[in-house]
Amino acid sequence: MAITALAAGAALTWHIRSGTETNHSANDTGAAVQREAVRSPSSLTTPETQAHPPAMKQQSPGSKSLDAHSPMLAYENSEDLAQVVEQLSPAAQSGDWQAKWMLARAFDECFPQVADPTLYGKIRASAHELPPEVQADMLRHLNRSEHRCRQLIASGQVTRTKVLESFDVALRTENLANRATSLVNSPESMSENDAKAMIRQIVESRDPWAIWALSEVMGETEDGANEYGPFSGSKVDRWAWKFVACALGYPCGPDSAEVRRLCVTQGHCASQALEGVVQQAFLTPAEFKEAIGKRDELLGIIAAGNVQSIFR
């Protein structure tokens, strides 16, 4: 579809993300978004999942609770990202790592409209080529993103330099998610035993943001090796870990930033939460069934406190 090519082409300097996604649906255009050297846990980027163990409904002691005061939810639920930037800047300056990440994601979300002010107009003009239900979802996500970004763009704060600098600041803050990100970016920096110890610590924390970042460590490898056990080494494993993060509280609903990004930048639009989008666009039926099975197995392992068994 021309729509996806437009979005990808205009975002050459925007997407500071990692991971390669393959679309198995009839809507695949083969368009790829340019990646840069800095990688963010937003892609390191499913619906609120089906029933899972009751123990998963609560954050473990000491983990970052995703409540109404969470920087993540401030970003996810906002209709005005300028207010989010103003609200979270003091916390970010005080060292709150999640506030730093949400500031970076706010600038990142709005930058395509600055890089090409005609982008969304071009997408809207081409939307008639889409099936009606896909067109409706595309326009819904476009309208919301445009509305969220209007005041922040008007403030003049959204620049390519600002996006890069804000991600750099966020990455330099010590937390479990950034430790996972560092393993993705520099796998040679840690021995296998140290990497496994870090992975175990992240999984035991039940921190959805860190487990989302961990999914990139556990995903596809160049040689297809599953060096971190049977829940690693493939795109199925990558999505299974993301589904686990969703079950633990990472925002993955139909109006989440992750679903919006997949729609606006890649044309994978659906009135579903992320799991449904993945089922439609990124995995075959057999792969999706396997990913769901691994998700459920992982949630059971976490609930039982038997994390070491993920390396069996």
Share of the chain above pLDDT 70, in %: 75
Query: Would the pTM count as exceeding 0.85?
Result: no
Give the whole-angstrom CA distance, residue 209 versus residue 211. 6
Question: What are the start-end ranges of the E strands in 177-289?
Answer: none
SS3 call for 22: coil
Separation between Cα atoms, residue 192 and residue 232, nearest integer Å: 13
250 or 31, higher pLDDT = 250
pLDDT digits (tens, 9 = 90+) for 6-52: 333 333 223 333 333 333 332 332 222 222 323 333 333 333 333 33
87 Ramachandran zone, left/alpha/beta (phi>0; psi -120 to 50): alpha
For residue 44, the tally of other CB atoms under 10 A from its CB is 24
